[in-house]
Structure 1
Amino acid sequence: MKISTLIILLCIVLKINAFGQSAQADQMQHIKDSVKMAYLSKMSIKNPSLRQASFSAEVITKNNFDSELYDSPLLDGQIQIQRYSAQTSFHLFSVGKNKISATVGGEHQVFMLDDIQSYNTLIDFEERNINKYLAKGALTISRMDTIFSKPLVSHINLSGIVDPETGQHRLMATGLFLSSIKRTKKSHFSVGLVLSSDPSSPSPVIPFIMYSHTFDPSLELSLGISGINLRKQLNDKSSLAFSNKLSGSLAFLQFEENILPKESLYSSLELQSGLTYERLITPKMIFSFSSGINSVFSSKVLEQNKISDPFIKNHQKMTPYVKFELSFLPFWKGLFK
């Protein structure tokens, strides 16, 4: 009887101990996840590309433009562009060193044409508003390795866009490879290479450098493939930045005229130079307001499945822009599974 009692007590003690160890392990994992989330949130405040979701509205004010069809005058007039977009990114799963994530979103663009003067009698352009919609989706495979004893980060992105009204669609692939060369307490220098089939990209192969430097805890400079940014932390919740940032847009077009390809793709590459004010309005939500000058480097229309040889080229003047955005810091712990 005493032996059986001892055995029962021993089993109870072992179960209590196992439960305690499991609870302790769960608590340690919770602490690790909280530390990772806090670190990622801190990095996302400085780097908007790391944020989990965003909603934005942008207006590029009215300016003069002219277009050429096969290098001959087509039309000129005035144009104002409005853009509304939403997107979210989330982790799917991991396989070894590979992390697979997804991005979904949508965009609505309004091209407001005015004072149109056409120089081609075979094509009828009216003064009108053109509404274009895009649904977007992407899968990204990320991996961290080493090369020549230096860290190497690789991102392979497979993306697709579709016009929900016409069904026109396009698939694109982008590869980004980044290696850290030197890191000090205040500076970080890296080199990289981008391979892209995106028609809005200035080139299918783009070598680039990334550099960041902290002048003091509240003033930081960063230089990357998308541009240059000088950011000043005003207080715990607000910041002000001056930036030169590359951006682009795509839209599917359909033409009824026989001399033009029926299914085409509009592509633009722009440089936005201006100020961005950001404020943390909740622990996870940031409000942003940007304003400055929009410069169009490239604006073209090409056949839907081509990445070069545009048949329409547009030329636009520099013009002011304004942009409002709500974005969210990472909030889903599945990012770390």
Structure 2
Amino acid sequence: MCAIFNTHDNMIKNNIKFRAFLIGLTLWSCSVHAQNMVSMSSLHPEADTISAGKKELAIRYPDLRQFGVSFNHFGYSDFDAKLNDRDFAHGKIRTERISTFFNSPAIKWKSNSLSASIYYTYTSTELKEITNRLPDQELAALTTDKSTFDLALNYSRSATIFNRPIIYSLVARGITDGLNDFRRFNLNGSFNLPLKKTENTTFSVGLLVLIDPSSPIPVEPIINYYHKFTSSGLELIVDLPNGINVKKGVAKNAWFKVGSNQRSYTTFYDHHNTFLDGKVSYNTIELNSGAAFEYLFAENMMLTLGGRFSSFLSAKLFKDGENYSDASLRSDNKGAPYLTIGLSLLTF
């Protein structure tokens, strides 16, 4: 009997350790990632790292859907800003964001695949209750409405190395606040190595190289792990550097999921004052944790409703020529709750 209890206790301890390990991986990956949208290479349907159809993949991974639009409403949170490592200003910040994306169908030839992704983000930011701490520089209360356009070209190639499949990918991205010129160009390269593929479990690893001045580090790992527990119907989806989620079907074409996911966003400004003169970009890395409900209707339309808590892992403002390590203005933004509603299209 004691042996049975000891075995049960060990299983519980191992399960807790495993969950802590996964959460730690998410937090570590989020803290070093600074892209508007992570390279799609680890999730690209052409990679064929998961034994599932395209529709099932799109249900499992929202970034693979053909079109999506979402509205996010955040509550107020406190911020403390530093200018050139000096205490600059304190106040409250609130954000509303509308995000849309479109993934084109892939053009395929032999072992190659080429597709395009277009992202549009509308961001409304309000600053209030400002307390300035430097006598010669002043941050005023304001409300701004900004649009950001992001075009990405995704190329992937399937091959073999040492008799094992491998997927190479290259993503070129241009980001702008208008239709006339691009404010930033980024380049991502990656490879993905599938290690396991069964009916209920898949596992692959890879490496992502980032050529981006707003990225904290130039290289980070890719980890994709999926497992469906047949007894409970729970699905564990580890998709780093994007996040970790647990999903459960609650009715026909309806799912409930909880997890943590990271995104980063760029907003461009033109400022001419005593401390910022010229074009600047405001970059945030956000970890969003909470629950969401998804309902599939009309065969290929997905409705998403969620309530989450957003933690700011990084908030920096870059002048032209600056990178992540020498950003002029850095802000410590406290977390805030937010509500999200989204509609997406699965069809490929």
Query: TM tier, shorter chain?
Result: 0.7 to 0.9
Tell me how far apart the structure 1 counterparts of residues 123 and 319 of structure 2 sit (CA, whole Å).
20
In structure 2, distance between residues paired with 1:272 and 1:95:
38
Structure 2 residue 340 is the aligned partner of structure 1 residue 323? yes
Helix, strand or coil for the counterpart of 1:181? strand
Whole-angstrom CA distance in 2 between matches of 1:227 and 1:104: 22
CA 1:85–1:44 in 2, change beyond 3 Å: closer, same or farther?
A: same
Q: Decide whether aligned partners of structure 1 residues 197 and 271 sit closer, same or farther in structure 2, where only a CA change above 3 A counts.
A: same
1:58–1:322: 8 Å Cα contact kept in structure 2? yes
Work out the CA distance in 2 between the residues paired with 1:156 and 1:207: 15
Partner of 1:266: 282
Residue 312 (structure 1) aligns with:
329
Q: Is the 8 A contact 1:293 1:319 kept in 2?
A: yes
Aligned to 2:269: 253
- Aligned equivalents of 2:323, 2:218: Cα separation in 1: 9
Distance in 2 of aligned mates of 1:259 and 1:75 = 13
The code of the aligned residue for 1:294 comes to S
* Max Rg structure: 1
Q: Distance in 1 between matches of 2:321 and 2:183?
A: 9
Tell me, in whole angstroms, the C-alpha distance in 1 between the residues paired with 2:53 and 2:223: 24
Q: Tell me, what secondary structure is at the counterpart of 2:251?
A: coil
1:220 aligned partner: 235
CA distance in 2, matches of 1:330, 1:198: 32
How many residues are matched?
A: 294
**Inter-CA distance 101–326: structure 2 relative to 1 (3 Å threshold):** same
> Structure 2 unaligned runs (5+)?
1-51
- Paired letter, 1:71: D
Range moving further from structure 2, 198-207 or 264-273: 198-207
Q: Which runs of 4+ in 1 moved over 4 A?
A: 165-168
Q: Secondary structure at the match of 1:313?
A: strand
Q: Could you say which residue in structure 2 is the equivalent of 1:88? A: 102
In the alignment, what sits opposite 2:292? 276
Q: What's the secondary structure of 2:140's corresponding residue?
A: coil
In the alignment, the residues of structure 2 paired with residue 144 and residue 223 of structure 1 have an alpha-carbon distance, to the nearest angstrom, of 22
> Counterpart in 2 of 1:103?
117
- State the partner residue of 2:132: 118
Match for 2:208: what amino acid?
Answer: V
Contact persistence 1:202–1:269 (CA under 8 A): no
Sequence identity percentage:
28
Deviations along 1:62-115, one digit per CA (max 9) or x if unpaired, are 011110001101111000111111111113533432211011231110111110
Shift of 1:199: 4.6
- Higher relative contact order at CA 8 Å, sep ≥6: structure 1 or structure 2? 2
Shift of 1:285: 0.6
Q: Are 1:197 and 2:214 counterparts?
A: no
Cα separation, 1, equivalents of 2:213 and 2:301: 33
Aligned 1:1-337 pairs, distance under 5 A:
39-91=53-105, 93-164=107-178, 169-216=183-230, 218-225=233-240, 226-308=242-324, 309-331=326-348
TM-score using structure 2 length = 0.80
Structure 1: which 5+ residue stretches go unaligned? 1-37, 332-337
Q: CA RMSD in A?
A: 1.9
- Letter of the aligned partner of 1:234 in structure 2? V
Distance 1:242 1:90, change over 3 A: same
Residues 137, 274 of structure 2: 8 Å contact kept:
no
